[in-house]
A = this chain, B = another copy of it.
């Protein structure tokens, strides 16, 4: 999202997506930054609300195109640094730490950072004062009344802005379909206590490495119950190091156990915290599940706790991981239960209403959610009409909103889109056409007829060859293969001399005839790509 006033643009967060199953062979998806590149001389800064991947994961790809100053909290920037280092972009980056309550000025914008509660620490909302009025961007949040670090959502500041008048509210819609209030991060405490009280051997917890709240609770409970704690997994080690260094994670004295000492310590004195909650094949938890990790081998009586949400699309791989864990004789604690083993970081309906009522903006744009969820969020604000709400807008990606002294309206459509990236390398952009081809290939494979034509006589040399994969068992000598070769030969024979001199025409005719034949025989539609070779 970008905010523009006259010739000045600021960018709010720069995330990435994990691809749909349909984006075959694509590892990550970033926004297309074309609009920012076209306006490169106007882009002043990137402002970060928090450090989750869907808010910072696109930064390396943005910075290679536009090296603009970045503002965020110490923890958020530390996570950004790690990513920039991987891409060798850290040395040139202009990173600026801000604190909650701090105000910065960038061109016509004055930006105040407001502390909010979320599943990650150091999350901020933004109050952006512009010459036309104040824009409030909530970032991702829930209103946690009892956060584990006791740092409350700064509702006071939000209320003050609301009282003075807010032009536009942009608010998180992720959980708009959930009734009531989202549970506090502390709500998992009783479940962890129950597990720590009854477990007779190792306790292994898989959670997101950035869930510092969750890690703190496991550390504190382990200290209380006399277990040592080992962190396993690259991202887990780096996140705990960052959070500890910044004073955001308190590590009790003498509690840490080195990963290599896990198996030699008494099992009932050990808790292990592992990254890899989504069944990613190379993650520490997945490798432990198939007994392929050098530091931990699960045994009968161990308890493995899945303390994370299941990101849609990962159900099957997570299920497979849990099955492997159960096959090793360990108990799996996962799923919905009461008290819960995981709580969401996003606000439910009553919290969303609280924010709407505190801010009572003139215009409201729901953000962060599916279109149908944003529609629901927009409808939820209707009671604020008597408090000055003039209009709500549900915006598709690329749809701009224009506000001037006369009011707000949908503006021009900006060319945006997604950029598909393979292998996590900046250079490895995958074009849409390549993905379309992969999808076609993944459905029914390919069939390639190869025709050798004598350049002197213009005649076909022997029967056409056909190569194929992913279609059917379509081997040399099979009946279908034989008749397909006859079909191609017949197409060649029955074409006029004129057609035969135009290879484009011949390729198209062969493709069409072969497609009709194969589809009739098999009901499948492989990618057919005739090759004519002049010999």
Contacts and interface: CB of A to CB of B under 8 A. Distances in A.
Contact of A441 (B315, B323, B469): B469
Contact of A523 (B370, B425, B441): B425
A440 B335 CA distance: 33
B434 A445 contact: yes
A322 interface: yes
Given A428-B523, A470-B437, A372 B442 contact: no
Nearest to A310: B312
A335 B176 CA distance: 10
Contacts of A180: 338
Contacts of A422: 444, 523-524
Interface residues of A, number: 73
- How many copies of this chain? 2
A179 B428 contact: no
A443 B437 CA distance: 11
A329 to B, nearest CB: 9
Nearest to A316: B20
Contacts of A433: 473
Given A177-B337, A465-B531, A467-B531, 11 more contacts: A25-B442, A179-B336, A180-B338, A313-B316, A323-B371, A331-B375, A332-B376, A431-B472, A437-B470, A438-B470, A441-B442
A99 to B, nearest CB: 37
6 contacts: A178-B337, A331-B375, A438-B441, A438-B444, A450-B533, A467-B529
A452 B326 contact: no
B446 A469 contact: yes
Interface in A133-175: none
Contact of A438 (B335, B379, B442): B442
A486 interface: no
A448 interface: yes
A13 to B, nearest CB: 21
A522 interface: yes
A444 to B, nearest CB: 6
A400 to B, nearest CB: 18
A315 B440 CA distance: 22
A531 B323 CA distance: 43
Contacts of A323: 370-372
A439 interface: yes
Interface string A365-406: 000001110111001000000000000001000000000000
A470 B441 contact: yes
Given A325-B372, A469-B527, A334 B448 contact: no
B313 A315 contact: yes
Nearest to A522: B428
Given A422-B523, A425-B523, A438-B441, A469 B375 contact: no
Contact of A327 (B177, B371, B438, B531): B371
A24 interface: yes
Contacts of A443: 24-25, 438
Contacts of A21: 21, 313, 316
A434 B371 contact: no
Interface string A293-332: 0000000000000000000110110010011011100011
A441 B446 contact: yes
Contacts of A25: 442-445, 470, 524
A471 interface: yes
Given A428-B523, A433-B473, A177 B335 contact: yes
Contacts of A54: none
Contacts of A535: 452, 454, 461-462, 533, 535
Nearest to A394: B326
A423 interface: yes
Contacts of A423: 523-524
Q: Which of A24, A325, A374, A531 neighbours the largest number of chain B CB atoms within 10 Å of its CB?
A: A24
A98 to B, nearest CB: 35
A478 to B, nearest CB: 12
Q: Which of A313, A438, A439, A524 neighbours the largest number of chain B CB atoms within 10 Å of its CB?
A: A438
B531 A372 contact: no
B379 A331 contact: yes
Contact of A177 (B20, B336, B450): B336
Interface string A493-534: 000000000000000000000000000001110010101010
Nearest to A175: B335
A437 B447 CA distance: 13
Given A438-B442, A452-B533, A531-B467, A178 B431 contact: no
A514 to B, nearest CB: 15
B332 A372 contact: yes
By Cβ-Cβ distance, the 5 closest A-B pairs, closest first, are: A442-B442, A312-B315, A177-B335, A326-B372, A323-B371
Q: Which of A338, A441, A469 neighbours the largest number of chain B CB atoms within 10 Å of its CB?
A: A441
A394 B328 CA distance: 12
